[in-house]
Structure 1
Amino acid sequence: MLTSGSGPGKLPPMTDVTTDAAATRLRRSPLHERHTAAGAKFAPFGGWEMPLEYAGGGVLREHTAVRTGVGVFDVSHLGKARVAGPGAAEFVNACLSNDLGRIGPGRAQYTLACDDATGGVVDDIIAYLHADDHVFLIPNAANTAEVVRRLRAAAPPSVTVTDEHEAYAVLAVQGPRSGELLAALGLPTAHEYMSFSAATLDGAAGPVELTVCRTGYTGELGFELVVPAEHAVTVWDALFAAGAAYGLLPCGLAARDTLRTEMGYPLHGQDLSLDITPVQARSGWAVGWDKPAFWGRDALRAEKAAGPRRTLRGLEAVDRAIPRPGMTVHVDDAAVGTVTSGTFSPTRKQGIALALLDTAANLADGDLVEVDIRGRRAQMRVTRPPFVTPSVK
């Protein structure tokens, strides 16, 4: 299980963490043997057994590698779904929150699948627009089946929705030197943020066709490689054969969590959920408010007009304390919110958090609050994420 202690580098429990009772049913990445050989400590997450951290330095070393050099994450647990057929892009645009009309083929977009009745977030997703008749989606691991189910239920006869969860591996190559590493392998790196390009890697057993996406979850320069699962080992080995010159490290879910929290990026199940809408989570930038249709449109427009009862804010520790999800935020004797994500920031060397704070409390950036940490009040300052400035944008 993911650790929940209060020391630096430890992770809070995550919503997607699978119970021990289900451990025998966990899926494994096609790179599982490579992780074992690298000394990975595994954790059940979203129905998969995935690396939490690796021997030889753990979370802090992996986190620093991504902020200063380059690290690679196996994120093959992420879902993959293909929506295809005449009108596929138009159909996706009528379901998901963001406006695909803002981008063209070869571009990617962060978007949300919301519940039509409440506006709560079923999942947050990256949509890759290939053509008017082809959209590739990457949802979160635990939510893929539900996203596919909802899309299939709404799809017209001309559109097919295919769950391709285990057909592809995804490798996230992240950090200021990620472009140098991929260029050394002959892969494209000049495309813009949130775009993608088909590419060919010269593997030991022959060419490997893959997609190079200028995306990531760390805030640093980075790329995600979508690779047919049967070629995942070839690509992994090629990265590490070339990566020694750039200080490449394998990185696990623990560093992924500290990196994304430093950037204020939400994790579904904690900062976004069926009970937390995009309006409350300050994710309205991922909503096409003027679109004639998308799931949850009426509920979200009504909440936006009335103003949300709570909003997602940042907290930075003044005291030596590390906030964790579920801890209560106080102003004097009044409870004014709840921590949704919290960790130790390796970059800032202090505790940081995302928290849902009551709008009625009228808290401004810079205001002081207290977080109840196991019966002890720790002082924290309200702030606006990100908590760090990436070295490369």
Structure 2
Amino acid sequence: MLTSRSAPGKLPPMTDATSAAAATRLRRSPLHERHTALGAKFAPFGGWEMPLEYAGGGVLREHAAVRTGVGVFDVSHLGKARVTGPGAAGFVNACLSNDLGRIGPGQAQYTLCCDDATGGVVDDIIAYLHADDHVFLVPNAANTAEVVRRLRAAAPEHVVVDDEHAAHAVLAVQGPRSAELLAALGLPTDHDYMSFRTATLADAELTVCRTGYTGELGYELVVPAGHAVAVWDALTAAGAAYELRACGLAARDTLRTEMGYPLHGQDLSPEITPVQARSGWAVGWDKPAFWGRDALRAEKAAGPARTLRGLVAVDRAIPRPGMKLYVGDACVGTVTSGTFSPTRKQGIALALLDTAAGLADGDRVDVDIRGRRAALTLTRPPFVTPSVR
């Protein structure tokens, strides 16, 4: 799922501290002091000051911890909104793209908030279905206010949309040993993927959802903000036996890119539709109503002019967002996400490629890196196979 970004989707340069002027404008996680104590390097992200990586580890070690053991991310910058009242689930279902009718109470679903006129993606969201009259939404930080605004503008009188952005912290415990760690703390771990349970830890009632943004076995804990420090301390104390490592947003980005998971603001955006991003699986095509339905059905029928594809570097090159792609002298697309894969030890990328170019998996294109061409091979994500599903 789903992170937020400042200049949408782009991870800014690392800084050991944010300037005083900037700090007054940025929100901070309730765990900020814990991150500082761990030597975190902070960066502005979606209007928040969040840890990018930690001292004594760095991105490569944090990435490896999640692929082979267990890591914990503070993703409290993610938005939180609650929709309640008679018919709340039906209302949400008539707005967002996926079909809530496919799941039942206690399950979660990846869905999209699309623009009604264009079908572009305003945000991607995880929806927690509690009951017919209760849906909890986790949008991206930078887009929460806009998602809430659109829902409130469309809501019938008996449905209430509350912005609870600051009321909750979110901790993502990810990796092959994540279930062992949570079970040691007495938390439920045997529920299915994209389902959630309520539990208690450190005197806090929290939600344990079997979700994540890394491709590994993992859980996301939605915790009352006032209990975030106690829950973090309980996790890190128990985690010592499992070599738990605190992980920042830079590792989160390399992990999700290895899986080919889209990032809003880069691979999804108001200018990039789910049809173009190959996210049609998150659209309830047969639903009678959802925002962007007509525009998306028309684009699907006609075929998109561009399509999101995966790329792996042949040469020693790291593609980056915004770089142009060529076949001969013809520009055929643009990189949307690109990084060095710590697992493959290669450059990898997602890119929007012109459908008319007729490219297929296995074909090669060139990326222009400051005037130098480097070869890439079209490869269907994921770029790595996670150790545990």
Residue in structure 2 matching 1:337, options 333, 336, 344: 333
CA distance in 2 between partners of 1:389 and 1:15 (Å): 24
Which residues in structure 2 correspond to 1:38-53 (within 5 Å)? 38-53=38-53
Partner of 1:170: 170
Which one of the candidate residues 346, 368, 373 is aligned to 2:342? 346
Matched, 1:15 2:9: yes
CA distance in 2, matches of 1:22, 1:265: 30
Preserved contact between residue 148 and residue 161 of structure 2 (Cα < 8 Å): yes
Moved over 4 A (4+): 11-14, 16-23
In the other structure, the counterpart of 1:98 is 98
Q: Distance in 2 between matches of 1:274 and 1:297?
A: 15
* Contact in 2 for aligned 1:12/1:342 (Cα 8 Å): no
1:244-299 CA-to-partner distances (Å, cap 9, x unmatched) read: 11010000000000000000000000000000000000000000000000000000
Contact 1:16 1:46 in 2 (8 A): no
Amino acid paired to 1:177:
R
2-side partners of 1:185 and 1:101: how far apart? 33
Instruction: Look up the match of 2:153.
Output: 153
1:318-368 residue CA offsets vs partner (Å, 9 max, x unmatched):
000000000000000000000000000000000000000000000000001
Residue pairs, 1:75-94, within 5 angstroms = 75-94=75-94
Checking the alignment, whether the CA contact within 8 Å between 1:12 and 1:324 is kept in structure 2 is no
2:318 to 317, 322, 331: 322
Aligned to 2:235: 239
TM alignment of 1:1-393, pairs within 5 A = 15=9, 22-201=22-201, 203=202, 207-393=203-389
- TM-score relative to the length of structure 1: 0.95
Mapped contact 2:257–2:339 kept (Cα < 8 A): yes
SS of 1:372 mapped into structure 2: strand
In the alignment, the residues of structure 2 paired with residue 348 and residue 380 of structure 1 have an alpha-carbon distance, to the nearest angstrom, of: 14
* 8 Å contact from structure 2 (residues 6, 44) kept in 1: no
Equivalent position amino acid for 2:152 in 1: R
Cα distance change on mapping 1:322 and 1:328 into 2, 3 Å: same
Q: After superposition, what is the alpha-carbon deviation per residue over 1:115-162, rounded to whole angstroms, capped at 9, x for unaligned?
A: 000000000000000000000000000000000000000000010000
Deviation at residue 24 of structure 1 after TM alignment: 2.8
Q: Letter of the aligned partner of 1:153 in structure 2?
A: A
- The change in CA–CA distance for 1:12 and 1:208 in structure 2 (over 3 A counts) is closer
Residues matched between the structures, number: 379
Q: 1:17 to 1:324 in 2, by over 3 A?
A: closer
3-state SS of 1:342 partner:
strand
Asked if 2 retains the 8 angstrom alpha-carbon contact of 1:117 and 1:296, the reply is: yes
Q: Distance in 1 between matches of 2:335 and 2:299?
A: 22
Q: Residues of 2 paired with 1:123 and 1:149: CA distance?
A: 13
Distance 1:168 1:258 in 2: 26
Q: 2: CA distance between counterparts of 1:268 and 1:23?
A: 24
- Describe the SS at the equivalent of 1:250: strand
Structure 2 runs not aligned, ≥5 long: 13-17
User: Identity over aligned residues, as a percent?
Assistant: 86
Contact 2:339 2:347 in 1 (8 A): yes
| Structure 1 unmatched runs, 5+ | 1-10
Letter of the structure 2 residue corresponding to residue 192 of structure 1? D
Rounded to whole Å, the distance in 2 between the matches of 1:72 and 1:345 is 20
- Between the aligned partners of 2:377 and 2:268, the Cα distance in structure 1 is 22
Task: Tell me the equivalent position of 1:8.
Answer: none
Residues of 1 paired with 2:250 and 2:6: CA distance? 9
Kept after mapping to 1: 8 A contact 2:210/2:220: yes
> Offset at 1:22?
4.8
| Residue 23 of structure 1: how far off its partner (Å) | 4.4
Deviation at 1:57, TM superposition (A): 1.9
Q: Does the CA-based 8 Å contact 1:264-1:385 persist in structure 2?
A: yes
Q: Secondary structure at the match of 1:25?
A: coil
8 Å Cα contact 1:17-1:47 kept in structure 2: no
What TM-score comes out, normalization by structure 2 length?
Answer: 0.96
Alpha-carbon contact 1:41-1:52 (below 8 Å) kept: yes
Shift of 1:208: 1.4
CA shift digits 1:184-241 (9 cap, x unpaired): 000000000000000011x2xxx21101000000000000000000000000000011
Q: Distance in 1 between matches of 2:180 and 2:108?
A: 22
CA RMSD of aligned residues (A): 1.5
